[in-house]
Amino acid sequence: MSENFKGIEPMIHNSKINVPYSWWAGDTASRFFISLRDQQKIIALRCGKCGKVFVPPRKVCPSCFTENTEWEDISSEGTLISYSVARRQFESIPKDKKVPVIWGLIKLDGADTAILHYLDGINPGEVAIGLRVKAVFAESRTGSIRDISHFVPVK
């Protein structure tokens, strides 16, 4: 501590800062988001060595460290493998989502990994692991994961 601050009690002031920023999504995520935005298609990357199919796509297979180059269309339907229900309106929940909000971990048909997204059109008490769900695309798409508005149960 500097001589200038001897005898001065350290103070902590709590506040918030807002720092706008932007970054390049990368070629893999960009292709995924463009497909959602322009074609309303969910695409995946397959590992050419072990065959695992990644959604969201991963540039490199985490199992065998092979660069994934085999793009394929993937079903917009899948199976709920886990979920969580928020009953309080947290700051991180978008304003267009009203509690209770359900997040689901969804393994799309043909994929080996799962995607985390909102689940709607069902009461929290009726949600169960193994539920069949399908993606609902947003009417206005901007090239983000929110181009999938949410998932709903398959009727």
Interface residues with Zn ion (CB under 5 A)?
A: 47, 49-50, 61, 63-64
Q: Distance between alpha carbon 57 and the CA centroid of its chain, in Å?
A: 11
Q: Which CB atom, from 46 or from 141, has the smaller least distance to Zn ion?
A: 46
Between 111 and 119, CB nearer to Zn ion: 111
Least distance (Å) from Zn ion to the CB of residue 81? 20
Closest CA to 42 of 51, 54, 52, 50: 54
Residue 72 CB, nearest approach to Zn ion (Å): 15
Strand order in the sheet with 70-74: 53-54, 42-46, 70-74
Q: Which is nearer to Zn ion, 29 or 60 (CB)?
A: 60
Instruction: Give 61 or 115: the residue with its C-beta nearer to Zn ion.
Output: 61
In the chain the first and final C-alpha atoms are separated, in Å, by 66
Task: Tell me how far, at minimum, the Cβ of 79 lies from Zn ion, in Å.
Answer: 22
Report how far apart, in Å, the C-alpha atoms of 144 and of each of 25, 77, 114, 132, 140 are. Answer: 10, 19, 17, 24, 11
